[in-house]
């Protein structure tokens, strides 16, 4: 059984928090777990598989079509909290598309039964991760993730056992953006699209979030034993 952790670093991610992600990963994760980074630059790290963001299926065509489109950037959102002419995160598909598109490359070379884990690049590893931790989190399910009640999932982490259902889910995550179908959804950010892809796939889910938890739920999940998500303003601390 092969285990892989996938993340995305683009723009200023490496300087702001990506270096710490890699350093703490290499310090605390078992040596048999592969780290793969989708990136728009060659990063100064060893023993890490790097995939050019430009090679991600659908990325180049999506950006060519939409990166200068004000609507696709959320500047024409009619949400109550949106400010006229400014990018609004719920409808900024250009900002979030790289995450949804990139998950697909994590499947490259993996066989059914292998494990693929996504972690945002602003996650740090705080303690030694046990061998086959992702398998423990899955507990015989297809997907372990952070689903919140009456709120979109927190997708700074998810882990999947590769198989027909999870391949379909990850492919759908990519194609909702790549085909432009994202603009038919109520919200266009990657967490909302992830939830749509999961629902369409019918995979067996283990929700790591306790009932009723909302907002920043990381501390209430098993993930907090070994990792921490430096969301939002925490990125630069």
Please tell me the total number of residues recorded for the chain in this structure.
237
Asked if residue 211 belongs to a domain, the reply is no
Domain presence at residue 89: yes
Query: With 60 as the cut, is the pLDDT of residue 34 above it?
Result: yes
CATH number for the domain spanning 117: value is 3.90.550
Q: Is the model's pLDDT at 233 over the cut of 80? A: no
Domain assignment present for residue 77? The answer is yes
Distances (CA, A) of 160 to 1, 98, 215: 13, 19, 23
Residue 67 belongs to some domain of the structure: yes
| Any domain includes 189 | yes
- Return the pLDDT at 227: 98
pLDDT, one tens digit per residue, over 217-228 is 999 999 999 999
- 140 falls within a domain: no
The number of distinct structural domains making up the chain is 1
pLDDT digit string, tens, across residues 119-160: 999 999 999 999 999 999 999 999 999 999 989 999 999 999
In this structure, what token pair is assigned to residue 160?
Answer: 């999947």
Q: What is the pLDDT of residue 235?
A: 47
pLDDT at 237: 46
Domain that holds residue 16: 3-129+155-203+228-236
Residue 208 resides in a domain: no
Give a yes or no: residue 63 inside a domain.
yes
Let me know if 132 is exposed, middle or buried by CB neighbors in 10 A (0-12, 13-18, 19+): middle
């Amino acid at each position: 059984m092969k285990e892989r952790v996938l993340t995305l670093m683009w723009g200023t991610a490496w300087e702001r928090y990506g270096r710490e992600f890699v350093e703490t990963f290499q310090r605390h994760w078992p040596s048999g777990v592969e780290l793969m980074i989708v990136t728009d630059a060659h990063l100064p790290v060893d023993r890490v598989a790097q995939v050019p963001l430009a090679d991600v299926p659908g990325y180049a065509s999506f950006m060519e079509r939409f990166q200068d489109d004000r609507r696709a950037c959320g500047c024409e959102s009619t949400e109550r909290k949106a400010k006229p002419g400014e990018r609004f995160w719920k409808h900024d598909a250009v900002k979030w598309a790289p995450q949804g598109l990139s998950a697909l490359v994590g499947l490259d070379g993996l066989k059914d039964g292998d494990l693929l884990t996504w972690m945002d690049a602003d996650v740090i590893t705080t303690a030694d991760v046990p061998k086959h931790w992702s398998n423990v989190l899955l507990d015989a399910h297809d997907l372990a993730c952070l689903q919140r009640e009456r709120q979109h999932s927190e997708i700074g982490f998810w882990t999947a056992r590769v198989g027909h259902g999870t391949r379909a889910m990850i492919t759908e995550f990519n194609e909702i953006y790549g085909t432009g179908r994202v603009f038919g959804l109520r919200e266009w950010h990657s967490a909302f699209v992830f939830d749509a892809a999961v629902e369409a796939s019918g995979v067996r889910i283990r929700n790591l979030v306790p009932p009723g938890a909302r907002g920043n739920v990381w501390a209430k999940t098993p993930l907090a034993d070994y990792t921490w998500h430096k969301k939002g303003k925490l990125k630069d601390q």
